[in-house]
Amino acid sequence: MIGRSIVDINNYWPRHISMPPFEELRRRITGTTIDELNRRGKYLVFGLDSGESLIIHLKMTGQLLLEQSGTATPEHVHTVILLSGDLEIRFRDVRKFGRVYLTPDSSEILGKLGPEPLSTSFTSELLHSMLQNRRRVLKPLMLDQSFIAGIGNIYADESLHLAEIEPHRISNTLTREESRVLHTSIRHILERAIENGGATISDYRQPDGSTGEMQRSFSVYGRSGEVCYRCTGVIERTVLGGRSTYYCRSCQR
């Protein structure tokens, strides 16, 4: 996509476009060229030669498909960005939770995000001090994108299990050693998830259409009633912060 110009944009589900209003967004991106592609947390950032950023969040079921114009369009494509060279970016999104933003200042959208967990500046000491400065239930805090950017429900549970830490723990009760282990675990799980092409439970696909394989490596997610791989405990499901939470009561403390 880099180097291609944006010829036009079509939208069939108005709420997909978060800001600005669609016709204004259309006017401002038509004729621009995609200079760079970046990611921040769970947001995809298209840097345009106009200086503006086109930002997309896929939420639960969003997919970006780069395909030739004129080819069969799958169901649930709500926004299409037409590129030079008869290519188009099709934003397919069954549940319609995804969003598109255009802004001259990407910090307007990304400014509230916490640190990138895989960056060198995200150290164990930083995580520990961040945890000490809050008094919140740990698992929902890990899902708070303004605390750390990019951790989702699956990887929060998997990280906590690897770290042998109970998801209901209050953040400022973690010892320095526990913070260190959690830090290592988060990084380990995210790196393995990337290596494995993400987790396909139902909708997620890699850019080439293939499924991810990380779901094969789940230790707790979706395993309620099954035996823990590390001890003799049984994985339980509970709800924390409104989200399914899987953990082993006997080895996560």
Residues engaged in binding DNA (CB under 7 A): 15, 41-42, 57, 59-60, 75-76, 94-97, 134-137, 140-141, 143, 145, 152-154, 198-204, 212, 237, 240-244
Strand partners, 19: 101
Beta carbons within 10 angstroms of residue 236's beta carbon = 17
Min dist CB 155 to DNA, Å, is 8
Q: Which of 85, 16, 94 is nearest to 55 (CA)?
A: 16
Nearer to DNA, 78 or 183 (CB): 78
Min dist CB 190 to DNA, Å, is 12
Nearer to DNA, 222 or 233 (CB): 222
Rounded Cα gap, residues 80 and 66, in angstroms = 10
Nearer to DNA, 214 or 228 (CB): 214
Nearer to DNA, 15 or 27 (CB): 15
Give the strand pairing for 87-93 and 62-68: antiparallel
Min dist CB 130 to DNA, Å, is 11
Min dist CB 92 to DNA, Å, is 11
Cα 162 to its chain centre, rounded Å, is 20
Kindly tell me the number of DSSP H helices and DSSP E strands found in the chain: 6, 11
Amino acid letter for position 113: L
